[in-house]
Structures are given as C-alpha cells and as structure tokens.
Structure 1
Amino acid sequence: MSPLPTPTHEATRPWPATRPTTRFATSLAGHGDRCAVWTPEGPVTYADLAARVEDAGSALGTSRRLVLLAAENSLDFLVTYLGALAAGHVPLVVPGDRPQHHKSLVERYSPDVVASRDGDRWRVSSLTAEPGHALHPDLALLLPTSGSTGSPKLVRLSHENLDSNALAIAEALRTRPDDRAATTLPLHYCYGLSVAHSHLAVGASLVLTDLSVVAPCFWQLVDEAGVTTIAGVPHTFDLLDRSGFAERDHPSLRVVTQAGGRLAPEAVRRYAALGRSRGWDLFVMYGQTEATARMAVLPPELVDSHAGTVGHPVPGGRFRLDPLSELECGLGELVYSGPNVMLGYAEHPEDLARGRDLAELRTGDLGHLRPDGTVEVVGRRSRFAKVVGLRIDLDRAERDLADAGVRAHCVDLGDAVGVLAAEPGSGEAVTATLTGRHGIPASGVVVLEGTDVLVLPTGKPDYPGMAALVEAHRARSRAREEKAAGDEAADGPSPQAVAELYRDLLDAPTADEHTSFVDLGGDSLSYVEVSLRLERLLGALPAGWHLLPPAELAAAAQRSRPGAATAARGGRTVPRWRRGWHAVETSVVVRAVAVLLILANHTHLSFVPGGAHTLLALAGFNLARFQLTARPRAERAKGIVRSALRIWAPSAVWIAAVALTVGTYDWRNVLLLNQVLGDWARWSPHWHYWFVEALVALLLGAAALLSLPAVDRWERRFPFAFPMTLVGLGLLTRYDVVVPDAGPYRGANAYVLIWLFATGWAAARARTVPQRLLVSAVPLLTLPGFWPTMPMRGPTIMLGVLALVWLPSVRLPGWLARGASTVAAASLFVYLTHFVVYPHLMAYSSVLAMAASIAVGIAYHRGWTRLEAGGRAVLPRVRTRVARARGVRTRAGASG
C-alpha cells in the first residue's frame, strides 16, 4: 500500500507544526477533488473537507485541549472530530443520544470543550478559558470501553494506534479509493469509527446516515449514492434477514464486513454464498476498542473452509495463547500485540498524562491458534457462569440452544443461568437442553420467554441489561410463589410437592404421598441434597423425617410453622441474632468437619487426625438410618449393596484415570482390593484409599450378614442389642484376640475396624438415655491406646460419635450451613481427588492446597451427579430396545 500523501498546506496552520497529530486527519487535502463525503446536495471533496477541518481545529484553540464530542453520523461531528485530531487536541467521543452519560463524564474529566447537537444546531462550547489538563504527547483519542458506555473508564489511544490500524484495516479489506462506505454503525463505536478512518486514509468516501438497514429508504440511498461497503455486527445481520436483503440486488455493493461478536458459522457460509451470487465479498473480523478497532480479518477466499475462525492477524499484529490450566488443552486466552494496542485505560483526569502502560493486550477472549495461523475465538473468559459447582460456558450454551431450535441469549445470575428466549412457550425446551447437555439442575435455569435480545447502541448484545431483565422476572416469579404459598398457608405444604421432589431427586417415578425417603432407596449419598431441598419446601424437618411419608412430613411441617411455634412458646419470638440461622443435622456437620480435618492434616494446615475413622462410624450410623428399615430382607440387602456400588463406581473411575495417566495406582486399587492383595510390609500411595476400601468392605459384609434370614429376624427384633453385639465381636479384632497379627497398618483394615462401624450403627439405634450412655462409653473406653503414636486421633473420633449420639442438629449461620452441606454432599469425592491435587500446591500455600482440593472434589461430585442423571435418562430407553430385540428374536424362534 502506498504511503499517505504529504499535506499541502500544513505550514499555514496556526498550531505548532511539531505537535503530534494523526496523519490521515492532516493529509485530507492531498486527495484533492476526490469525493470525501457523499451528500444528497452534492459531494464534499477532500479539499473542501480539509478546509472545514482546519477551521474547526483553529476554533478549538492553539493549546491542546480535551474535547468531549457527542457523536452522531453527521458531517458536523465528522468535521469537528477530524479538526480536533488534526490540531493535536484530544477528542473524547461519547454516544450522542445519552446526555446523562455526557454529564457524568463532564463531572469526572472536566473537558475544556464540549461539542454536541443543540436542537437543529451543532454547538461547540468552550468550558474553560485555559486548558486544564496535562495531556501526554502520544495521546490522540479517548473512547469508552466497548459495552460500558455508562462507565467513566476510557481507552487511551495514540496517534500511532489510529494511523497504523487505519492502514492495516484498509490493506486487509482491500479498500480502494473508489470505495464508498455507508455509516451503518454509530461513529462513537470503535468499529464504526474505524470504517471512517480506513476509508479516509486511502482517499475513499463516506455516506453519513442514521438510517437502519431495515428501512427501505436506506437501500434507496445505497443505490443512489453507489455505496460499495456495508459494516455490521451480528444484530445487523439479524435485521438484514428480516428486511429481505437476500432477495434484493444492489449493483454497487462490493464489500460486506462483520465484527462486534460471533456470527454462527452457518450464517457466515450463507452470507458468503449470497455475496458470491450477488457480486460482493464477505469479510469476517475480530477486534476490540482496546486494539483501536480490529485485530484479525478472515478474507472471502477462506470463509467456507474457516467459517468458525476470525482469520489472520491484521498486518503488523500478532497473537499468542496464554493457556488456562483449568480448561482443556489447546484452549487459552488470546493475547495480542501490535502497533494498534492502546496506551492503557483512564479512570481519572490524572491518567491522561500517562504514557504507555502495556505492550500487549490480554483480550479476555478464549480461543485456539490453528496450525495454519488462523484464530478461532470460542467465547469470553468472563462469559462463564458457575452454577451448583459446574462451570458453564454461556456462549456454548447459546449455541446448544440454537442447535435445539431456540433463539436465546444466556446470562450469569450468580446462582443460576438466565435465558432470554425469543419464542413464547420455549421454556421447557430451554430447560431440557441446559439440564441435558450441561448438567444444570432445573432450579438453576431461569427463563424469560417471548423477549428478544437487548442490544447496545453499537448493536452488540447488552448482557448486563438482559441479566437485569431476567433477574427482575425471577423476582416477580418469586413474589407470586410467595403469595401463593401464603394463600395456601392454612392448608399447609402439599404432600404432592414432597412426592414430586422425591421423584426428581431420587429418580423414583413411583413416589407418592405414602412412600418415604428410605422406601424409595434413599441413602447417605442423596440424603444431604434431599434434606436441603425439603427444608426450603417445608421449613425445619422433624427428627426421623427420612422415615416419614410425604403426608406425615407435610403435617409435621404444618404443626411447626412459625405461628404455631410462637404460640407454643407463649408468644415469644425468635431472637434477632438467631434469625437467618439454620438447624443442620449433626450427621451432615460431622461429615463436613471430618473431611476438612483430613485435608487439613494432609496439607499440614493443622494436625488433628481421626477424620477418616469418624467417617467410618458415621457410615454405620447412616446404614442403620437409611437401609435397615421395615422393607423385606432382600430389598434391605440390595439397598446396602447399591450404596456400596455408588461408592465404588466413582472411586474406581477416578483411581483408574489416575493410574492410566500418572501411574500412582494399579488394578488392585481400582478394584478396592489393596487391603487383600497389597503390600503389607510398607506404607505406599497404594494405601491412599484404605478408607474407601474399608467402607465398601464393611457395607458388603453387612449386606451379606443381613441377607441371612435368621440374622435379619434377630436384627429386627433387637435393633439396639444387635449392633452392640457386633461391637463386642469387633473388639475381638480390635484387641487382636481373633487375629493376633493384623500387621503394622491395623488401623486401616476393615476387619479390625468392625467395632467402630458397629458403634455408629448402635448410635443410630439408641433411643433411651441408658442406651445412649452405653454407646458413649464404647469410644471412651476402647479408643485410648489403639493409636499409641497418634493419641489425638482417639479424641477426634470420640467427639464425632458423642455428637451423633446426643445432638440431633446444630444451628449454624445460613452461609455456613450451606457450605457445610455442600462439602458434606461431596465428601467422598473430595477424599478421592485430594491426593492428586494438594501435593502440587503445598509449596505455595497450605490454604491454597486445601481450597483447591475442596473445589476439585465438588466439581467431580457435580460431574458424576450429572453423569448419573444422564445414565438414568438413557437406561429406560436401552431397556426398551433390549426388550423389543428379545421379543423379535422370540417371535422369530417361534416362527422357525
């Protein structure tokens, strides 16, 4: 590309010739009598435009000034803007239709001059007699950050930024002097402004208009003015689809450009094909205000084969990838360098005196760098939500909804994904898609139907605005639900609602108002989540709620309503300090504390051993509560085996994955048989999962024992004496009477720990004070001396067992109750994963190592839960197909 022509009248200017200026603004006269701006009244030549620009620059003063410009697509604005650049002033360009924004920026930055539309007049007003700012010599232009036009944060651009990017864009788009671009985008938007820059830099022309692309008169203007170039953001292309653009022919049109957000690959190919049939080329681009305008361009010849990319960097630019460890390999944040990278941000007037703050731009976009040099942008780093521990790519969610035939935009509501769906009645499809493909529970999806996308004046999606809209919809829905709940308060909570909750969370289609949690196969793994949801539905849960059918649960909730409770206390109200506190079952708190103690010990944050052995006692406690019900013997045994398998399956998958990738473990660990077939002579990583092995072995042993008819009858007849008898028998191995040589790791062996497991079992069966005292005596008398080298382990287990015996629940602040419940629900998964996580972070921080272990464990728990839900959804279909196949074979055999 040839260099810009030398200005012909620069020496006559009133401002100093040495002042830094923007070359395309000072070189206008060099294009002579070529058309610079097309108007219905006739062309404005470059010579005429240069004269007007010089006058505008002179009117702004000889000293450098900060000039706030209320942008509009008019010749008045363009002349004042170019005049400020040419004279070396610093324009601050803002949207012309937002006077409140102007006011806030005037208050924040105190500009020397304000130029804006005043009725029918374009008014340039000086607010100060003398310049009031220290402006860095390189500073040329200030623009609001993209998408935040209400913020005082500005992008500082230099003269080099403007000139280099104008030429780079013109070269990449093959802009010619005979091209003519219509201002289909606002000039306060960096994309729209760069259209003007790149065309003026090579002597091409502009058609200034505010008309929308859906207006018929806009297309009359295109044909009348001979427009060759149209620029658009994704929303522009939505409007083109609605305006019948594909059915029209505009002979002068040569180039259509797209940027400002991702256009779906199928739409890119469709428009490229349309362009080939109509005689124009489609260029897909990628940019940010912080890079002056554009950083990458996909030329027309690559559109079909690279429709999912944004092409190659613009001339002079370069990308690198900063990998993100928490995401998949090959994906990372795009980092751009080039002469168009901004000087930095400004948030206060003092920042205008600063020079360059950065050499490269962290885009905040996630992408791939393909081997052929093209760049693929897959989403914003900030366009991720975290719902129930799951990391959700909102852009991916939008694409999945589009694949399902739903036009929608997704936003982060903090605790849920908000969806703005265009089609009425699409709520069920949205929820089904997000729950099925991303594992989000239905409660984590908030849908606002029948509302189209909100856009900023730039045409980009207004995600903050949409989030506020969906949040307001959710607030109204909650208010309606609360009113309905208040209207039904006299009748109390519905048993049908409890049964529906059981059907959803336990995958129990047979649940009704007569089937309890344990009747439906609920166990300790599902107990925490179900209890939390029930508390939100019913309030405080009665002791033994898991044994009550929904009808009795609803009645108990009715009796314990705040009004009834207050009356029972003689009208006394709950103290203010206790409001917002929650009663959490002790078993949940013990489970959370125990696993946290394990992590704290292993990360050297503290040394309070005994967490794993406390969990073994808790396992016996939960066995008695959830499995040993009045169900038939075979069902009880199957329920225990099912619980053991639910522990073994995620354990085996995790251990196998680590064994294959790192090699720490082997097949004995995967099968949880290291205690049987492992090396007893020394401690090694193969013993990491002794607790899981012992737990599964004890559960399977209990299932085998209770499958015997005589034992089953004895346990039902003597529910407390039976586990106490097991305690006595277990003490024979604890004191080495039966197995005198249990090896150096006797405290990790299932058959040695039978007495501890049975103690928890007995704790759940203790009903009277003497029974509770007897159970309490067991750990107090038998734990001392079991670990002579770790005397603190015994007191930890004692406290855990005593809490289970004597404390039905613990009152905690709401935030702590939610945290404890989350950790308790994921305790097995935290234990499984932490051996791989914490060793890599110990050198940096024990706190970080512990926090990361918790986070990874919770993530694995959520992922496994989603996998289980998917399996439950697929299994009925598989069974149906198998049954049909068998039926076909049976009929074929019969006919043969």
Structure 2
Amino acid sequence: MPTLPILAHLRGFDDRVAVLHPVGPASAATITSVTYAQLADRVAEFSAELGPVRRLVALTAGNDLDSLVAYLGALDAGCAVLLTGELTGELAATYDPDVIIDRGRVIANRARSAHRLHPELALLLSTSGSTGSPKLVRLSARNLGANAESIAEYLGIGPDDRAATTLPLFYCYGLSVVHSHLLRGASLLLTERSVLEPEFWDEFRAHRATSFAAVPYTVDLLDRIGFARMSLPALRYVTQAGGRLEPARVRTYARLGAAAGWRFFVMYGQTEATARMAYLPPESADEHPDCIGIPVPGGHFTLAPVDDGAAEELVYHGPNVMLGYARHSADLALGRTVDALRTGDLARRTPDGLYQVVGRRSRFAKLFGLRIDLGRVESELATAGFVAACTDDGSRVIAAILPRPAASATSRRAHGVAAARLIAQVSGLPATAISVTVVDELPRLATGKIDYPAMRALAATPASPGDDVGAIYADALGLPIETISPAHSFADLGGSSLSYVTVAARLERVLGTLPTDWPQRSIADLGRAPRTRARFGRALDSSTALRAIGIVLILGSHIQLFELWGAAHVLLAVAGYNFARFAVSSAPPARRLRLTGRAVAMIAVPTALWVLITMVWQPGYYSWQNVLLLNKILGPRNDTAGHLWFLEVLVYCTVACALLIRVPRIDGWERRAPFWFALGLLGLTLVLRWHSFGLYPERDIALSPLACWYFVLGWAGAKATAVWQRLIVSAVLLACVPGYFGVTERERLVMAGILILIWLPALRVPAVVAVVAVAVADSSLFAYLLHWQVYPALGEQRLLALVACLAAGAAATEMVDRCRHRIPWLTLQGQHLSGRLVRQLRDQQVTRNRLAGKVIE
C-alpha cells in the first residue's frame, strides 16, 4: 500500500512545533506544544500497538491530540480508516469495523480482518461532511497526498504558518487543513472552541495563529462577534469553503482582508475530490465574487451538457478524485470505479477564465409539475433580507428562517408569512405547497452545513392550532400578523364572503370540520375546538353554493340558453346575509365602516373601469351615469344602461346599511338585540315592497333600489340563530315574495334559494363539486361584468358562450390575484418605492383580492 507523504515527512521537521493543544479542564486549560519528532514517536507507538495486520479501523475523532495521533497511527499501520464524528448503529452494522477507536482509545479490536480491503484504500469519509451516513467516499493515500500538496501550493503554506482548527477533523475540509500544514512543516493550534468564544481569539493571538478555515455559517458567527474590528496581527489568510457564500459577503471579506493585511481565499470542493477542486485568487474576489475561480494545481475542469441541453455540468479531473463510493462492506474490496468527478453543479466559464457555479442539479425539486430551483429560492430570500435554508419533502418546499432581532411571537409569525409569500412568488407554487418554520438557529451538522433531514422533521412537527389560524387569517386577508391577536375573529378582521371561501377550506385542513359560527369565534376558541373529520366530501358554505348557481343561472338566462329568472334577487339576499355575518361584527364602528368601504370600493372600482373601457370600445353602450353607478337614480332607463342594475343596488344597500349602524344609538340597538333589530329593519323596508311612492314604473320596481328589502331579508336570516327565529323570517319570505314578480316560477326559485340560505348554513358535497363551486363563485363579479360583451360574439353557440363567459371571469379574477401577489414581493424588495407607498399599494391590492367576484355582496 502506498505511504502517505505526510507520514514520511514527520521526522524531517525534527524540533519544529507540529501541534499546540490544550491540557487540563477546558475552563483552565494550558496550551502545550508537541514537536514533529515527538508527534512522529507517538504515531509510531500507536501504529505498533495496532500491529502489522491490515484492518478496517473506525475512528471517532475530535480536535484533540489523541485523535490526531490515532488517525495518523492507523494510517501508518496500513489500516483503512473510517473517520467519523459518531459511529452510529447503522454505520457499524453496515461496515462491521475490525477496530473501534474513540478519541485515541481502542475500545474494540479484532485480531484479523473480516474484510477484503483494496490495497489502495486508505480513508473512508461520509459524503458532504455529513456523519453517520452508510454512503462513504473511498479515498487513497495518493488522493490525500495530491490534494494536500495542491492546497499547500496555492496557499503558499510554509513552516511559519499555524492554523487554528475551526472545523472538525472528520470533515474533509477540516482534515485538509491538517494534511496541508503537516506536509509543509507548519503547525496546528488544536482547539474545539467556537469562534464565538473570546478564549478562542485569546489563544489565536497569544500563539500567533496565521489562518483559520470558515464555512458560511462561520462567517455568520464572525459577523455577530464583530470580527471586522478585531486586531489579529499574525493573521495571514482566511479560507472559506463548505458552501456558497453570498457574493456581497465575499466582496466584503475580501476588502476587509485587503485593508487589514490578510488574504481571503474562497474555495470550492467536495469530499469526493478529497477536499478542494478550485479556489478564487484573492485579487479576483472584489471583481468576481460570484465565481469559484480556477482549478487547484494538478487538476482541471470540463463542462458536460446535461440532459435538457440548457446548461452544463461541471466535471473535475485530477489525482485527488476518489476511488469511488462504498455503500456496504463488500465495496471495500473495489478499486477505482471513478475517473472523473461529475460534481452535480451547473457551471459556466467566464471570459476571464474563471468558473462560475450557476445552479445545482440535485437542488431542484419537482412539485406540481414545476421544476423548482431551491438554490434560487434561497438566493431570492437572502436578497430580500431573510436568513433561510430550503429543502423539499416531495410534496412541499420546506424553509427554515431566522427571526429578525428581538422579534416578538407575532412578528416572528409575520416574518414567516412574508417569507412564504415570497417563496410562492419565486416558485409559482400555491401556498399549500409551502411550509415555513421560524427557528432560532438553522439546524446544522457538526461541520456547519445545513441539516436538511432535521429541517424536514421540523416541518413535520405540528404547530399550535391557534398559530395556524392566525397565520391563515393574515395570509388570506392581507393583514400584518402582528395586528392579529387570539381574541380576534374572522369577522373582526374584516373577513368577507370571498375570503370566507378560501379561509374555510384552509381551516378545514388544519382543524377538521368547522363549527357553523366559526367566523364569529375567536382564534383562541378555534384553536381549542375539538378536532373532527367528516367522512364525506367537503363542507360548502350555502352562500357560496348559491353564488355559483346564481351566476350560472343569470348568465345562462341572458344568453338565452334557458330561462330561469330570479337568481339575482336570491343573490341580493345572500349579499345581505354576508353583510350581517362579516360587516355587522363586534369590531369598533369606525373599523367596521372602513372595512365595508373597502368592500364597496372593490365592487365599484372594477365596474367603473370596465364601463370606461366599454365606452371606448362600444360607444353609446354605457353612459357616464354607469361609470358612477348612478344609472338607477339619474337614468337613462334603456336596456344596456340598465345591465348593471344589480351591482348598483348592491352598492346602495351596502353603503346605506353601513352608514346606518355607524350611528351610535342605532349601533347600540343592534348590538343588544341583533335579531330583533334586523327584523325591525326588515319591517321598515317592506313598506317599499307594497308601495313604490311613484319612484319607478311598475315594471322597473323589482330591478331598482326598492328591492332593498331582499338585502335586509338576508340580514335577518343571518341573525336568526334559533329555530323559532328562522321560522319567523321564513314566514315573512313566504308571505311577501308571491305576487312580487307576477311570474310564479320566478317567485318559487327566489323562495327556494332564500330558504336554503336560512336553513342550511353549509352543504356537504363531493370535493370536486366544492372546488368548482368555489372557483365559479369567486369569479362571479368579473363574469357578470364581462358577459355582456363576451356572449354576443359567439352568436348561436349558447352553451359555448356560457363557458366562455365563466372562463373570462375566471381569467380576470386570476389576473387580479396575480397582481395581489406582486405586492408582497415589492414590499420585501423595497428598492424603488418608499415603505409608505408600498404599504398603501399592498393594502389596495389585498382589498381588491378580497372583494373580487362579489356579485353577491
């Protein structure tokens, strides 16, 4: 078996200091030196203790002298060393080591090997610095020597260098520091202290250490402790590898080093290449901080097209490329199975001859038919100010993020919601396919790399139901989560019938079957509610079902596919029903009026904009009175001008009722006796049912503001919680509707729809029916607005015309929804807009989303 050059050179440096290491308790340790001659003697003694038989040695190592001696001694004895931080049960069962050594102490020793070990096999390391994985990298003595030589060459390591061991010995990056320094007669300051500890830096200065190695997490820690302000006179260089460091931070540290007199080396490597494959010369870091640089001495890169031909994979060639992988003990007999290393990284070569990694093949997730670049998601989060890591579990993107400094519980949740919105924006995934967990520390392996299995375990841990409810409300209603408390209800927060549909579906997934009065219940109450699961389908709110059915009947009747009139008046009652549920809440009067005003604006503004567009496109179709939604008051009374009568009456009723309950005395009456107040108001408006006061011709009464009693009838139905109360409202309905239209079929349809609203708060239907109904109901406003212009273009193709109208409404709704999702992104990026303006735009878009499709509100 080839001899490791490091071992052959130990005695060549004689009395030079090889290692400085602590002796005694950590709190009062003293640093003692060991010369190369002394180290060589100890290595020889340990080698002799193991004996001449070549065996598989499992060594659990720390950053201490005994571990270093045991490692070098086992190699000197000709053994194959499985170096790890922990010998897990799976690892031990898979490879059945002949000798087990724990930090220099032999705890198991089989006289003869149970394995066939290939002559070139020297070292086994877990892939990517992970520990305990049964998949190991097989390395030869030639691999170790070649990589140590190339690193020592480009770093210019000499006898006067001294490296502090900031990384574990069992991690290929930390081990390469040991190899390269011992090869050149330099010294090691062995320590297990963290860079967070002041004692680490005291020892670093006192013993004139010249370098240390950092992974991205180390750099995070350096930022915390104010490394930029430290005085380290002997520091010659800092190396960084173990993961991509953001270009801005590469540039910052390169400039910091240039100003302080030390050099910053960004390096690129993998365990499969023994450690290093490339480095970025410090003089290139300021101009090219996004590059991995040039190949290490003795190696070179090629670029191989990947399957789709859209990018090229970085392939490394050199004497440090591993022999191959081992997945079970029989693989230890294998020789070389790999000639070149396909890194899995997508890369390009710049005009300056530097290599740049642009993506990772294995960092792509395939979800919902989309190929998600998790690296890009992390990069976008970092650009927006989030400290985050991302992975997936096959069905979701999982992100762990750090909170902002001194964040409260509510602001932590807000931070998580904002991150989830950005991930949805970047990835194109629905919110249900994104899981964000706010953590105090990102889960990491001992090497400092992200522990992705631990992240998946965090995402699988159930959150507090109350937290889930609050987060759902914040996301659906577009509210800062810090403004939401456990005492708030959906209605208190300005929930509407559109957001009701979305929120109910999401709550069912978290809480199970919902109580019928959940919009009025506090978040705390819902969080404590017992969990039950329905055996059949999904609960569909009856108002949503009526909205979906109603818009189909209205459009179909206008298109003359069939004639079933009366749905508009049912929807007017539904609007009153929802007004009573969501606007007549326990919230302060001013807040209720403000939320209702937004709701009205989100009906009126899209309507006015569409009328203006139509006036340009079809002159004479609408008039300026339609723009202001005043046609039913100011005229003209022609067919096309009257097309929007329902929206006008809906706006009039909503505004009038909102202003009414804003009057303090009237508000007090309503709060004390909600049902009797609604019934009394219904009695007053029924005057208009029997007497028009000459305000409208008889044929126009049903399509005028005089039909407001249907709106109030729905209000009374919402407040009728007891059976006897529902009976009273039903009796009023059955007494007042007959004869109103003079068409029996129309009156029966109206009565049937409103009775469903009064008596059946929710309908359990197959899931597919619920999905379709929600989609149709959500797009009802735009379907109603657009259908007047869509269906005439299709002539006699009436069924196709109905489908086209519904599709046009859905497309317009989707466009509005996409606009809404751009606002959180703008808020996060905040590069061109002031914070105040962004907040205003966000609020406007959120309100638009909540009211889009409100034909019935």
Distance between the aligned counterparts of 1:617 and 1:354, measured in 2? 79
Distance between the aligned counterparts of 1:619 and 1:30, measured in 2? 100
8 Å CA contact retained: 1:295, 1:314: yes
Distance between the aligned counterparts of 1:399 and 1:527, measured in 2? 34
> Does 2:535 match 1:579?
yes
Match of 2:97 among 80, 102, 111: 111
Instruction: Within 5 Å, give how 1:592-611 maps onto structure 2.
Output: none
Q: Would the alpha carbon gap of residues 321 and 423 (structure 1) be closer, same or farther in structure 2, given more than 3 Å must change?
A: farther
Q: Would the alpha carbon gap of residues 706 and 42 (structure 1) be closer, same or farther in structure 2, given more than 3 Å must change?
A: closer
Match of 1:36 among 18, 29, 44: 18
Aligned to 1:869: 821
8 Å CA contact retained: 2:569, 2:750: no
Q: Would the alpha carbon gap of residues 706 and 158 (structure 1) be closer, same or farther in structure 2, given more than 3 Å must change?
A: same
Aligned to 2:272: 290
Distance between the aligned counterparts of 1:237 and 1:283, measured in 2? 13
8 Å CA contact retained: 1:392, 1:438: no
Instruction: Within 5 Å, give how 1:334-345 maps onto structure 2.
Output: 334-345=314-325
> Does 2:327 match 1:347?
yes
3-state DSSP class of the match of 1:249?
coil
Aligned to 1:598: none
3-state DSSP class of the match of 1:26?
helix
Match of 2:62 among 72, 80, 93: 72
Distance between the aligned counterparts of 1:44 and 1:388, measured in 2? 61
Aligned to 2:301: 318
Distance between the aligned counterparts of 2:701 and 2:510, measured in 1? 37
Match of 2:451 among 451, 459, 462: 462
Deviations 1:459-494 (A, max 9, x none): 23334335534654x43x127779x99xxxxxxxxx
Distance between the aligned counterparts of 1:193 and 1:478, measured in 2? 46
Deviations 1:366-417 (A, max 9, x none): 5554333333346655556688887765555555555555545556573654
User: How much does 1:521 deviate?
Assistant: 9.1
Aligned to 2:721: none
Distance between the aligned counterparts of 1:386 and 1:618, measured in 2? 43
8 Å CA contact retained: 1:456, 1:462: yes
3-state DSSP class of the match of 1:84?
helix
Aligned to 1:226: 208
Match of 1:249 among 227, 231, 247: 231
Q: Would the alpha carbon gap of residues 58 and 285 (structure 1) be closer, same or farther in structure 2, given more than 3 Å must change?
A: same
Match of 1:173 among 155, 159, 174: 155
Match of 2:71 among 81, 102, 108: 81
Distance between the aligned counterparts of 1:465 and 1:810, measured in 2? 39
8 Å CA contact retained: 1:401, 1:430: no
Which deviates more, 281-290 or 360-369?
360-369
User: How much does 1:618 deviate?
Assistant: 12
Match of 1:302 among 284, 287, 296: 284
Q: Which amino acid aligns with 1:174?
A: G
Distance between the aligned counterparts of 1:403 and 1:513, measured in 2? 36
Distance between the aligned counterparts of 1:257 and 1:337, measured in 2? 22
Distance between the aligned counterparts of 2:605 and 2:205, measured in 1? 77
Instruction: Within 5 Å, give how 1:234-273 maps onto structure 2.
Output: 234-273=216-255
Aligned to 1:157: 139
Instruction: Within 5 Å, give how 1:234-633 maps onto structure 2.
Output: 234-315=216-297, 316-320=299-303, 322=305, 334-365=314-345, 368-377=348-357, 395-396=375-376, 398-400=378-380, 402-405=382-385, 407-409=387-389, 412=392, 414=396, 417-421=399-403, 423-425=405-407, 426-427=411-412, 430-431=415-416, 433-434=418-419, 437-439=422-424, 444=434, 446-448=436-438, 451-469=440-458, 471-472=460-461, 474-475=462-463, 477-478=464-465, 529=502, 532-533=505-506, 535=508, 579=535, 582=538
Deviations 1:647-668 (A, max 9, x none): xx9xxxxxxxxxxxxxxxxxxx
8 Å CA contact retained: 2:44, 2:76: yes
8 Å CA contact retained: 2:52, 2:78: no
Q: Which amino acid aligns with 1:113?
A: V
User: How much does 1:358 deviate?
Assistant: 3.4
- The aligned length equals 626
Deviations 1:250-276 (A, max 9, x none): 332211111122333333233222322
Deviations 1:617-661 (A, max 9, x none): 9999999699975789xx99x989979999xx9xxxxxxxxxxxx
Q: Would the alpha carbon gap of residues 468 and 378 (structure 1) be closer, same or farther in structure 2, given more than 3 Å must change?
A: farther
Instruction: Within 5 Å, give how 1:689-838 maps onto structure 2.
Output: 810-811=765-766
3-state DSSP class of the match of 2:134?
coil
Distance between the aligned counterparts of 2:199 and 2:274, measured in 1? 32
Q: Which amino acid aligns with 2:114?
A: G
Aligned to 1:90: 80
Distance between the aligned counterparts of 1:134 and 1:818, measured in 2? 63
User: How much does 1:217 deviate?
Assistant: 3.7
Q: Would the alpha carbon gap of residues 579 and 238 (structure 1) be closer, same or farther in structure 2, given more than 3 Å must change?
A: same
8 Å CA contact retained: 1:36, 1:206: yes
Distance between the aligned counterparts of 2:257 and 2:181, measured in 1? 21
Q: Which amino acid aligns with 1:339?
A: P
Aligned to 1:854: none
TM-score, reference length from structure 2: 0.58
Distance between the aligned counterparts of 2:273 and 2:61, measured in 1? 20
8 Å CA contact retained: 1:213, 1:239: yes
User: How much does 1:314 deviate?
Assistant: 1.9
Aligned to 1:727: none
User: How much does 1:182 deviate?
Assistant: 2.0
Q: Would the alpha carbon gap of residues 469 and 437 (structure 1) be closer, same or farther in structure 2, given more than 3 Å must change?
A: closer
User: How much does 1:285 deviate?
Assistant: 1.2
Instruction: Within 5 Å, give how 1:109-148 maps onto structure 2.
Output: 109-117=95-103, 122-148=104-130
Distance between the aligned counterparts of 2:251 and 2:501, measured in 1? 50
Structure 1 unmatched ranges of 5 or more? 1-18, 486-496, 506-510, 564-573, 590-612, 650-670, 672-699, 717-761, 770-807, 828-857, 882-896
Distance between the aligned counterparts of 1:350 and 1:44, measured in 2? 40
Aligned-pair RMSD on alpha carbons? 6.1
Deviations 1:7-36 (A, max 9, x none): xxxxxxxxxxxx234333334344555443
8 Å CA contact retained: 2:216, 2:242: yes
3-state DSSP class of the match of 1:150?
coil
> Does 2:193 match 1:208?
no
TM-score, reference length from structure 1: 0.56
Q: Would the alpha carbon gap of residues 204 and 712 (structure 1) be closer, same or farther in structure 2, given more than 3 Å must change?
A: farther
3-state DSSP class of the match of 1:130?
coil
